[in-house]
Structure 1
C-alpha cells in the first residue's frame, strides 16, 4: 500500500499547475485583467474578493484544492472531516512550494536568456 504522504506530493502538482496557469500565464491574461479590474472597482466586498481570487495563485490554490478533495476524497491522518482539513492545507502548502520553485526557475531562465542576448549584441558590434 502506498503511503498517503506520497499522494500529498502528487496531488499538489495539479493544484500548482492549475493555480499557476490561471493566475499567471498568457492564455488567461484577458480574463485575469478583467478580474483584477473588477476586484478594484466593485462596490460589494464579496464581489471584490471573488474576482481577486482569480488573480492570486495562493488564494486560487485553496479553491482548486477544495475541488480536488471533493473529487478524490483524499484525507491525511484521519478518515473524517479532520483529515480533509489537514490534507487541504497540506496540499496548498506543497503546491505553493512547487509554484515558488517554478517561479525561481523561470526568473533564472529569463536572466540567462537576457545575458545571452546581451552577449549576442556585443558580438555583432
Structure 2
C-alpha cells in the first residue's frame, strides 16, 4: 500500500475530474438537451427503476457515484486498505470530496452571477 499522504493526495486529485464530469453532465449547457430529456423521462416513466435511472443524470450527487465507480475501475485506487474494503472506502470518500468541490464551485458561481448582476445594474444607472 502507498503511504497515507500519497493516498490522500490521490483522493483529492481524483475528486477533481470526478466533480468536473458530474457537474458538466448535470449542469452545463453542453448537455442541456440530453438532461432535459432525462428530466422528462424521470417524471413520466411508469416504473420506479425507469424514473430513478433517468433521474441520476440530473442530480450531481447521484451521478457522482457512477463517475466515481468509473474512476475507481480506471485507476484501481484503494483507500487505507488493500482489499475490497479499500475500494469501498475510496468510493465513498471520493464521492464526498467531489461533492465538496462541486458545492464550493456552486457557491463561487453564485457569487460571480451576483457580481455580474450588480455591475449590469450599475452600468444601467450610469
Q: What range is the shorter-chain TM-score in? A: over 0.9
Q: Note if 1:3 corresponds to 2:9.
A: no
The offset of 1:77, in angstroms, is 0.8
Mapped partners of 1:95, 1:27: distance in 2: 21
Match status 1:44 vs 2:47: yes
2:69 — aligned with what? 66
What is the Cα-based RMSD across aligned positions, in Å? 0.9
Q: CA deviation at 1:45?
A: 1.0
Runs of 4+ in 1 over 3 A off after TM superposition: none
Q: Which of 90, 101, 106 is the matching residue for 2:104?
A: 101
* TM-score, length-scaled by structure 1: 0.96
Cα distance, 1:97 vs structure 2 = 0.3
Equivalent residue runs for 1:17-96 within 5 Å? 17-96=20-99
Q: How many residues align?
A: 123
Q: Name stretches of at least 5 consecutive residues in structure 2 with no aligned partner.
A: none
| Structure 1: unaligned runs, 5 residues or longer | none
- Residues 24-66 of structure 1, C-alpha deviations (whole Å, 9 max, x = no match): 0001001000000000000011111100000000000000000
TM-score (norm 2): 0.96
**Any idea what SS the aligned residue of 1:58 has?**
helix
